[in-house]
């Protein structure tokens, strides 16, 4: 069976095309060698489980790894100490190869006691007794034991889990003070960190922030996929299929739009392989082109999948988070990254945002465009006169498969002036980008795509990049601040066009000067044509 791309469940090297993560595993092993206890907190479908599985194999020579998935535990498993301890002992035993890891196999006294408590759930078993037995197991093992708990956040709202963490902490401290034999390292993997778990369990009268997991070492390993690692995976695919792709170029396109988010990388590759580049089930020669990539991206942005559904659910569950993201996208105002702000911390934890040189930014272009599409598709948006005008106009903007961006700017200027010409300056500055995207979206929907170029925001302007059938259009949106400022903006746009190897760029200037010259006109600068719409 040939390898395939996978986005469901664990990826395995002999079945799936995978990005090589050996460098990340080596960094994690360094923490384990030091005896660190730590947490791997990343957003949904960020490859946590795949990383743990790969880590277990990577550590096999030096350590005995025990992986327990709390998602396999039922709610009843956390009912009390006795039930949890028995369930934990049973799961612990399921992963042991007792004949190889212990001198006398199943006859080892520590293993026999563990089997006893796992098979007799009616036995009174406190967490303290469970840990005494686990420490006997650690002492008897041929290798140091690394305990990995996946989906740790599924234990939220269970006090017994906090008590379990407290026991781990106590034995860790005992190890540091007296050399007491216990786990070499403990890894908790999940979306929420344990402080969040604790805050969910505390009653209204309790406001303690001391976590039982305050012994955790910092885990700052970047788990996203780099462009070079994505290219390595594509080169393996190319060796198998001989499509003729430029693996480095396609890897760059994938990385630019996903920022290396593991699910998004794999899903784009899967769509390219299974949906875009195959005809009657057969892979086309000379496939995996730029145009194929943009086709796969349009599919991704229009589909329902578990990751997007999870993100959308978070917006409904946390209205303040939703308000912050809306403001970040549409107002153009910088939001300072502050991890102590609970809404920013939550948005980071769920994978919506990242810290970009001290400024809050949406994590990747895919998320950003998906969020724009979500906010622009609300009933309030789609009942505006501007949106209705776009629906009436949209058929006139495409000729022989080519988008007439100049005509779009002309019609947008006309409608915007008629509808919002008397609005206050502050309204225009906050809403101008939103209304341009609202007008644009019905025109390119299903055939084209757009994203907002984050690098230009600090220059007090916004560049919207539109892809339509593989051709890109750069549209700069800015507020008029005088001729000198405008001239600098024109030169910056020329520089940007040079970087993209594009000859024509577009500008929308919101100008409040009563003597302004409205309409659309051309500017020739350094061999580039700038089509400027003044509103």
Q: Which helix (H) or strand (E) holds 38?
A: strand 37-41
Task: Report the C-alpha gap between 192 and 173 in whole angstroms.
Answer: 24
Range 146-175 burial, b when 16+ CB lie within 10 A, else e: bbbbbbbbbbbebebbbebbebbbbbbeeb
Q: Label residue 448 by pLDDT band (50, 70, 90).
A: confident
Q: How many CA atoms lie within 13 A of 301 on its CB side?
A: 27
> What was the pLDDT predicted at 210?
58
> What was the pLDDT predicted at 451?
85
> What was the pLDDT predicted at 198?
58
Q: Label residue 207 by pLDDT band (50, 70, 90).
A: very low
> What was the pLDDT predicted at 511?
76
The structure's pTM equals 0.89
Among candidates 144, 147, 94, which has minimal Cα distance to 119? 94
226: tokens are: 């780099």
> What was the pLDDT predicted at 220?
92
> What was the pLDDT predicted at 470?
80
Please answer whether residues 68 and 149 qualify as being in contact, where contact means their C-beta atoms are separated by less than 8 angstroms. Answer: yes
Question: According to DSSP H, which parts of 65-158 are helical?
Answer: 81-94, 98-101, 109-119, 127-140
Residue whose entry in the numeric block shows the structure tokens 């594509």: 234
Question: According to DSSP H, which parts of 335-424 are helical?
Answer: 342-349, 365-376, 379-382, 385-393, 405-420
Beta bridge partners of 464: 452, 475
Q: Give percent above pLDDT 90 in the chain.
A: 57
What angle, 0 to 180 degrees and rounded to 10, lies between the N-to-C axes of helices 405-420 and 385-393? 150
Q: Going by C-beta distance under 8 Å and a sequence separation of 6 or more, which residues neighbour residue 49? A: 9, 10, 69, 150, 151, 189
Please say if the pLDDT value at position 80 is more than 70: yes
Span 221-263, pLDDT tens digits: 999 999 999 999 999 999 999 999 999 999 999 999 999 999 9
Task: Report the C-alpha gap between 194 and 207 in whole angstroms.
Answer: 15
Span 384-437, pLDDT tens digits: 899 999 999 999 999 888 999 999 999 999 998 888 766 655 555 556 788 899
For the residues 109-121, what does the mean pLDDT come to? 85
> What was the pLDDT predicted at 158?
81
Please say if the pLDDT value at position 362 is more than 90: yes
Span 47-76, pLDDT tens digits: 999 999 999 999 999 999 999 999 999 888
Task: Report the C-alpha gap between 59 and 64 in whole angstroms.
Answer: 8
Q: Label residue 105 by pLDDT band (50, 70, 90).
A: confident
In the predicted model, what is the mean pLDDT of the chain?
88
Span 469-497, pLDDT tens digits: 888 899 988 877 777 777 888 888 898 88
Please say if the pLDDT value at position 297 is more than 80: yes
Please indicate whether residue 207 or residue 441 has the higher confidence score (pLDDT).
441
Taking the CA atoms of residue 385, residue 387, residue 392 and residue 393 in that order, the dihedral angle to the nearest 10 degrees is 110
Please say if the pLDDT value at position 283 is more than 50: yes
For the residues 328-342, what does the mean pLDDT come to? 85
Question: According to DSSP H, which parts of 395-482 are helical?
Answer: 405-420, 425-444
For the residues 355-376, what does the mean pLDDT come to? 92
78 conformational bin, left if phi > 0, alpha if psi -120 to 50, beta if neither: alpha
> What was the pLDDT predicted at 330?
82
> What was the pLDDT predicted at 130?
92
Q: Give percent above pLDDT 70 in the chain.
A: 91
C-alpha distances (whole Å) from 104 to each of 64, 101, 132, 140 are: 16, 9, 20, 9
Please answer whether residues 254 and 265 qualify as being in contact, where contact means their C-beta atoms are separated by less than 8 angstroms. Answer: yes
Task: Report the C-alpha gap between 481 and 464 in whole angstroms.
Answer: 20
Beta bridge partners of 462: 477
> What was the pLDDT predicted at 458?
47
Task: Report the C-alpha gap between 294 and 404 in whole angstroms.
Answer: 19
Please say if the pLDDT value at position 457 is more than 50: no
| Alpha carbon 275 to its chain's center | 23
Please answer whether residues 48 and 28 qualify as being in contact, where contact means their C-beta atoms are separated by less than 8 angstroms. Answer: no
Tell me, what DSSP letter sits at residue 274? Answer: I
Span 144-192, pLDDT tens digits: 999 999 999 888 778 899 899 999 999 998 887 776 678 999 999 999 8
Tell me, what DSSP letter sits at residue 96? Answer: -
Task: Report the C-alpha gap between 26 and 32 in whole angstroms.
Answer: 10
């Amino acid at each position: 069976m040939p390898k395939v791309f996978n986005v469901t469940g664990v990826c395995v090297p002999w079945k799936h095309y995978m990005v090589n993560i050996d460098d990340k595993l080596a960094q994690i092993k360094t923490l384990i060698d030091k005896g660190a206890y730590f947490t791997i907190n990343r957003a949904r479908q960020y490859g946590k489980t795949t990383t743990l599985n790969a880590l277990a194999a990577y550590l096999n020579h030096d350590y005995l790894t025990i992986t327990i998935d709390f998602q396999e535990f039922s709610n009843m498993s956390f009912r009390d100490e006795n039930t949890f301890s028995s369930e934990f002992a049973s799961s612990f035993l399921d992963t042991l190869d007792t004949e190889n890891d212990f001198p006398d196999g199943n006859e080892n006294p520590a293993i026999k006691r563990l089997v006893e408590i796992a098979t007799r759930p009616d036995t009174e078993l406190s967490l303290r007794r469970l840990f005494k037995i686990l420490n006997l197991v650690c002492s008897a093992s041929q290798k140091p034991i690394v305990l990995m708990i996946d989906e740790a956040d599924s234990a939220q709202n269970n006090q017994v889990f906090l008590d379990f963490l407290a026991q781990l902490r106590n034995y860790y401290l005992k190890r540091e003070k007296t050399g007491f034999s216990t786990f070499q390292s403990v890894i908790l993997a999940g979306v929420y960190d344990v402080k969040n778990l604790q805050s969910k369990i505390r009653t209204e009268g309790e406001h303690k922030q001391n976590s039982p997991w305050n012994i955790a070492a910092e885990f700052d390993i970047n788990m996203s996929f780099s462009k070079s690692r994505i290219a390595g995976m594509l080169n393996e695919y190319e060796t198998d299929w001989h499509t003729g792709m430029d693996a480095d170029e396609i890897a760059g396109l994938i990385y630019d739009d996903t920022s290396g988010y593991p699910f998004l990388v794999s899903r784009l590759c899967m769509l390219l392989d299974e949906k875009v580049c195959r005809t009657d089930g057969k892979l086309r020669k000379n496939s995996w082109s730029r145009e194929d990539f943009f086709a796969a991206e349009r599919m991704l942005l229009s589909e329902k999948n578990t990751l997007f559904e999870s993100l959308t659910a978070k917006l409904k569950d946390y209205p303040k988070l939703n308000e912050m993201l809306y403001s970040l996208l549409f107002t153009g105002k910088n939001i300072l990254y502050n991890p102590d702000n609970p809404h920013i911390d939550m948005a980071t934890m769920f994978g919506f945002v990242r810290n970009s040189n001290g400024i809050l930014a949406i994590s990747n272009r895919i998320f950003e465009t998906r969020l724009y599409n979500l906010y622009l598709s609300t009933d309030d948006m789609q009942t505006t006169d501007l949106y209705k005008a776009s629906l009436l106009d949209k058929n006139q903007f495409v000729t022989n498969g080519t988008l007439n961006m100049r005509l779009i700017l002309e019609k947008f200027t006309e409608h915007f002036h008629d509808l919002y010409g008397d609005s206050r300056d502050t309204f225009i500055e906050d809403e101008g980008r939103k209304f341009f995207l609202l007008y644009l979206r019905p025109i390119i929907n299903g055939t084209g795509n757009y994203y907002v170029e984050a690098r230009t925001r600090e220059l007090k302007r916004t560049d919207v990049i539109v892809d339509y059938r593989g051709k890109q259009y750069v549209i700069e949106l800015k507020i008029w601040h005088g001729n000198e400022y405008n001239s600098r903006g024109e030169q910056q746009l020329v520089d940007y066009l040079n970087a993209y190897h594009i000859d024509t760029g577009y500008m929308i200037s919101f100008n409040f000067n009563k003597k302004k010259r409205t309409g659309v006109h051309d500017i020739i600068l350094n061999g580039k044509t700038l089509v400027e719409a003044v509103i």
